[in-house]
Amino acid sequence: MKRIFGFFVAGLLLPSIAMAVEIYKKDDMSLNVGWWGQVWFQNISDMNMDNDDEKYDDNLNDFLIRRSYFYLDGTITPELSFFVHFASDKLGMDEITNDSDKGLGSGIAVRDAWFNYKILGDDLMVQVGRMYIPFTRNYGTTSTKAMLTLDLDWGQGGSHSGIFYPSNIGRDDSITLWGNVLEDKLQYRLMIGDGEDNNTKNPDDNVRFAGRLSYSFFDPETKWFNSETYLGTKRILAIGAGFDFEHDMVIAGKKDDYTAWTVDFTYDQPMAQGNSLTLVLSYINISHVPNAITWTQLGAGDDGDIISAKIGYYFGDKLALGNLQPYTQVQNIHSDESGDDDTMIYGFGLNYYLKGVANKISLEASFMDQDEEVPDSAIRDNTTITLQFALGF
């Protein structure tokens, strides 16, 4: 226990250290421990938002630990495995609302914790605990260690945005049936979850239903966490679809069903000299959105949609110690409500990979363009420049 506790403390307090170690192995039983983190410097121009009774009307310069993740995983039998993930997010972010129970700001929280039992090998598995909601690819199957862009999409927890659907930082306490069939080309996931835990929003204590299908035409994606970019190690052509549903949610004084569905397309093509091209497209349609999307006019209770497109090109030839991958992205967040305007987000970035997808230095500039700015609010044009160091395994 002392050895485990030592790794735990070091992983959370020393973001310059990367570790992954097998600490126990006997017959079919094993235990592994690891850590991964991100450190950011971020400059945001033309901000106008409240923080502890202060207001930023110009530039915000912010140093923060964006993520610090400590995890344990292992096997008990060939069929039974487990995963536990402790997290601290946005430590030191200037405008963060601290919530130690969720690991936001100060504090450490159990972000993921589950048992997985293979009923019919990888064809049919049951997973019980706290886990990703199997809905979108961006924040439903993709590991945050393996994103093409600097962070998650806006509206799903990226940068300063919140998450539009009910969740505990993108997770839910649930039971999920999932597996890989048709020669591992088709992955399915079906969840029954706890759903919204706010009694005011969910007065009838309804459960949520979510699910996802993804078909990979070339190399299969069979794991619980996958990558958004494979750096030339896999050839991916995947088409996915998902849904999320919770009955009779009370949002903005109106009782209605929350429903959302998505379709997405991922293409990752290895090329000559170790180069590779990555293209990711997604569309999300939302009815009776539970949570307003930060800095946009898609408010709680509205209907709307989100479109996202990303493209990156990885260079297989090293430049000094690592490999370069420039990328660009565009997102559109639209509200169906009369008179509400769209928000466009444009991003341009460069990843410098030191070892695999998890260890890299990134620089990104993103631009938020409002159809119409709202005076004395955060709904305004702004520019964000972020320098990131990500290390771990």
pLDDT computed for residue 53 by the predictor = 41
- Fill in the amino acid letter for 385: I
DSSP structural state of residue 152: P
Structure tokens at 159: 């940068």
Q: Using 50 as the pLDDT threshold, list the residues of the chain that sit under it.
A: 1-18, 51-54, 56
Q: What is the CATH number of the domain that holds 171?
A: 2.40.160.10
Distance between CA atoms of 263 and 193, rounded to whole angstroms?
Answer: 21
Question: Could you tell me the CA-to-CA distances from 65 to 39, 94, 344, 348, 350 in Å, in that order?
Answer: 4, 11, 27, 22, 20
Predicted structure pTM score: 0.91
Domain boundaries, position 212: 2-392
Q: Quote the number of domains for the chain.
A: 1
CB 159 within 8 A of CB 384: yes
Distance between CA atoms of 192 and 124, rounded to whole angstroms?
Answer: 16
pLDDT computed for residue 34 by the predictor = 94
pLDDT computed for residue 60 by the predictor = 85
pLDDT computed for residue 349 by the predictor = 98
Instruction: Report the chain's terminal Cα–Cα distance, integer Å.
Output: 21
pLDDT computed for residue 104 by the predictor = 82
pLDDT digits (tens, 9 = 90+) for 332-358: 999 998 778 899 999 999 999 999 999
Helix (H) or strand (E) holding 12: helix 2-13
Interior/surface letters 122-132, b for 16+ CB within 10 angstroms, e for the rest:
eeebebebbbb
DSSP for 232-250, written as a single string: TS--EEEEEEEEEEEEEEE
- Fill in the amino acid letter for 186: L
pLDDT computed for residue 48 by the predictor = 60
Closest alpha carbon to 262 in 185, 109, 153, 143? 153
pLDDT digits (tens, 9 = 90+) for 352-380: 999 999 999 999 999 999 998 888 888 99
